[in-house]
Amino acid sequence: MRCPSSSFLRRGTFIVALLWFCSAFAAALENPGNLNLIPVPSKIAVTEGKFRITEDLAIGAIGEAGARSKKAAARFMERLAGRTGLFFKQDYLAELGPSGSSSFLFKYETPGQLEPFEDESYALTVSPDRILLIAKTDLGVLHGFETILQLMDVDSQGYFIPCLQIDDTPRFAWRGLLIDVARHFMPVDVIKRNLDGMAAVKLNILHWHLTDDQGFRLECKIFPRLHQFGSDGLYYSQDQVRDVIAYAADRGIRVMPEFDIPGHSTSWLVAYPALASAPGPFKIERKWGVFDPVFNPTDENTYRFFDLFFEEMASLFPDGYIHIGGDENNGKQWDSNLEIQQFKKAHNLLDNHALQAYFNGRIQAILAKYGKKMVGWDEIFQPGLPKDIVIQSWRGRQALIDSAQRGYQGILSSGYYIDLCQPAAYHYLNDPISDEVPLKDEEKKLILGGEATMWSELVTQETIDSRIWPRTAAIAERLWSPASVQDVDDMYRRLDAIAVRLEELGLTHFKNQEMMLRRLAGSADIGPLRTILEVIEPLKQYKRHDQGLTYTELSPLTRIVDAALPESKAARLFRKMTDEFLRTNDRKIADALKTQLQRWRANHQLLRPLIKSSPVLSEIEPLSQDLYTVADIGIQALDAILAKTAGDRAWVNESRAACELAKKSKGHAELALIPAVEKLVQATLSR
């Protein structure tokens, strides 16, 4: 089995550190049960032997096979051929081979329905001479195909699948990814390649955020001014929408649209200002935040408009759910509108929350009329709404708990905001139903699952993949695998493997970084840039908006901070090595740490000429200087620890102060290396 960190070496991390890290897992990797599966299956038993992959491999169905499973089988064989270079004899693109002559057989009872709680389970048996995949529905077959692709390994004799038995079923029915195409428009090919990534890790719902203050991104035939005036010409035709829905369905993925109302609605009101709660005209917002424009909930024309709109959308989107947003209405236009205030009094609506609940109820009735259930952000959770709506909790876990206790279904997104550049471990340990959740068993059943949310204020089509992958695979595991699967180190080990394999789907989370660096440098000589990028991360949470620059829809997202990955693998491994060294005092580990620090320290002088030749890089010169300073402090600390010399208090204080200064962001990024160096400095005091 190949070292799971080989991709890291390819990305330029120093070989000494990498070899140490890999050797720490060497014994475990010899265990054939230590597989690179994400998500981890419900039950797995590894047996003796290997199924060898040769050009004679043929795939066949037991019984009838529908179009979805046949297409999936074709994609499976194509990806397998791409990895192995084998010229398979089976004409898999034309039809499946006869089951009697096939070494890979699959069977299912019925086509799966794309709706919550459909059976997605599968059973997989691999023996030396045959692979057998059995499922209740073809959705389970699709999941089984992805598991087999993840199981593929190599040894001196060639490619193989380890022999084993898997019985697998998801823990949660709702496992989603939100992609915001309103703030920054994402072309169809971006959506499709991410649907492929979702299928690879067994996510089953694309939450398509189609409207917001910055854009209305969908062709509307009955109200064409919506896309004509609210999109800057960047929108999906209805044929493109149908294409995406069909593409997703072939991969077992539902597509739920979101039309954000009554707030976040500027792009709607550009086209139809008479429906607003204040006089127009309006224009598309270019900045980010919460804005005043909001639909008038007291005007019957509003509901006539939405009745016609949702009738059209209900026929376009086959999914049983439509998301209405419902978040961040600041109520300013409602408060300043005399007629709206009079309406509130006449209908005993005590505040704007009650008024929005009235609006939500009217919209819910319209959706129900067209056979759709309503989903909304947790602001829609108000008494009186029917119990078949779904509450999406984003402001915290409490809304999920409260809604379940009152009989409402819910999904968790708080803690899964992948646009905030938190580490994979942060998302991984965020469970929709943790031990601390004070719910009865029946109430827990109302928690359907969760969604990762990719808001697009700070991404474009060339950077969005790097913000989604591979960390979303960790969220996918949390939503699929048993709650007991919580080994963070093993998650990272498997995440390394899946990150590389996701590239075969056309995802650009690694590839585009190199391209962006060449563009910034104006040169192919990007070694020093690659080195500093190893240990920097974009600012977390919303801090990037507080650094003096005003980001808008038109701002360039092409700088070093945009090329940086959300989580520095080099810094994470360095922290692990540091902890291990401080625990064991192993000289080999210390040598690896020191060699790495020397490399980072030396990079400053290598980077300076590149910065001088490319003014756009000038913002990272202070960051490079900080890396030099922090690395030098780490080297001095290591020398003191190895010499068993007690740390000089004055030096320790100076080093701590220097590290604190280095923590201040430069270029909207930060050094992820500093916590480990601070530990080394602290350790000098105990020698």
The residues carrying an active-site annotation are: 328
The Cα–Cα gap between 127 and 101 comes to 16
270, 281, 258, 261: which is closest to 231 by C-alpha? 270
DSSP one-letter code for 59: E
Q: For 209, phi and psi rounded to 5 degrees?
A: -85, 100
Q: Report the SS3 class of residue 437.
A: coil
Q: For 99, phi and psi rounded to 5 degrees?
A: -60, -30
Alpha-carbon 30 to chain mean position? 31
10 Å Cβ neighbour count for 384? 9
The tally of CA atoms less than 13 A away on the side-chain side of residue 421 is 28
Find where tokens 């962001």 sit. Answer: 665
> DSSP string of 220-285?
-SSSTHHHHHSSTT--B-HHHHHHHHHHHHHTT-EEEEEEEESSS-HHHHHH-GGGBSS-------
The Cα–Cα gap between 264 and 285 comes to 10
Q: Report the SS3 class of residue 159.
A: strand
Q: For 661, phi and psi rounded to 5 degrees?
A: -65, -40
Q: If you count them, how many residues does the chain have?
A: 687
The Cα–Cα gap between 395 and 85 comes to 48
Q: Report the SS3 class of residue 481.
A: coil
Q: Enumerate residues 6+ apart whose C-beta is below 8 A from 340.
A: 277, 296, 297, 298, 334, 355
Q: Enumerate residues 6+ apart whose C-beta is below 8 A from 520.
A: 529, 558, 559, 560, 563, 614, 616, 617
Q: Quick one: 174 exposed, middle or buried, by C-beta within 10 A (0-12, 13-18, 19+)?
A: buried
